[in-house]
Homo-oligomer: A and B are copies of this chain.
Amino acid sequence: MRYFVAVAEELHFGRAAQRLSMAQPPLSRAIQQLERRLGVVLLHRTARAVALTEAGSVLLREARLALDAVEAAERRTRRAAADQPGVVLATKAGASRELLAKLLHAYAAEPGSMPVEVMLCGPGEPEGLLRTGRADVALLHRPYDTTAGLDAEDLHTEQQVVVLPKGHPLADRAYLSLAEVKAQADLPLPRWPGRDGGHPDGPGPRVRDHTQLFQLIALGLACAVVPESLRDQLRDDYAIVPVPDAPAVTTVIAWPPHSRSKAVADLVRTATRL
């Protein structure tokens, strides 16, 4: 299955073999065996190109989940046996900073609380971290993050604002509509990486984290619609205007649905009581 995922992602047996540190022929045979075992054609091969069949793309999605589950099993087992227990909390760097601080503080004061390791990561990563067992619990932000396959509790909902370079013509407005923001051809919205690590097509600059984002805004090369709590982290060299019709952002605490850990349960309970 690892082999198939590699080939399906590369769409090239040679490169996939290289990624798996093996030779190409055994890889070809392994895929053929898989196809024979399943009785299904997974790949259309022409001498020039490899393409996924319908069934192949189903297997790609399912196999990723299965491999993640296996990885999670190993990792969680190892962690359960480690002598120093603790919880790993994942969240996007820079988001919900104040809420996170309050949560950590309140949880530390709980009786029987464990050390919490905070894992800061890029957008879209936390779900994968939970699925592969690298993290135990995460703070996510709907609708940016998806909670599919996770259990979650809502913590806080807030409106969004647009961040503009200081002195921009629109900076004096009391509020802006999402349509007006998008209509700014000179200040495009940035493009965040998708789940596969690729950036969607479009005019805006490619961006990986908030530092890059605010750098670009300060340079007058972009603007961004972000939750209003981020304003606390901005110095006053930006202009901030509410965007009432942008979708509200809900901060949620999420965890794998079968989690049996007392620490995660305590953390969730503490968070909902804040």
Contact = CB atoms under 8 A, between A and B. Distances in A.
A112 interface: no
B70 A66 contact: yes
Interface residues of A, number: 36
Contacts of A53: 81
Contact of A65 (B54, B58, B61, B73): B73
Interface stretch (A34-42, A43-51, A90-98, A222-230): A34-42
A58 B76 contact: yes
B77 A59 contact: yes
B148 A77 contact: no
B74 A38 contact: yes
Contacts of A118: none
Contacts of A273: none
Nearest to A260: B61
A29 interface: no
B73 A1 contact: yes
B77 A40 contact: yes
A62 B72 contact: yes
A81 B260 contact: no
A66 B73 contact: yes
Contacts of A1: 70, 73
Contact of A257 (B40, B78, B149): B149
23 contacts: A1-B73, A38-B74, A38-B78, A38-B81, A39-B78, A39-B81, A40-B80, A41-B81, A53-B81, A55-B78, A59-B73, A59-B80, A61-B258, A62-B76, A62-B133, A63-B73, A65-B69, A65-B73, A65-B258, A66-B73, A70-B70, A149-B151, A149-B258
Nearest to A41: B81
- For A53, A58, A68, the residue with the greatest tally of chain B CB atoms inside 10 Å of its CB is A58
Contacts of A41: 81
B77 A58 contact: yes
A198 B51 CA distance: 47
A194 to B, nearest CB: 16
Nearest to A71: B66
Report the 7 A-B pairs with minimum CB-CB distance, sorted nearest first.
A62-B73, A149-B257, A55-B81, A148-B257, A66-B69, A40-B81, A58-B80
Contact of A151 (B39, B58, B148): B148
A78 B40 contact: yes
A197 B38 CA distance: 30
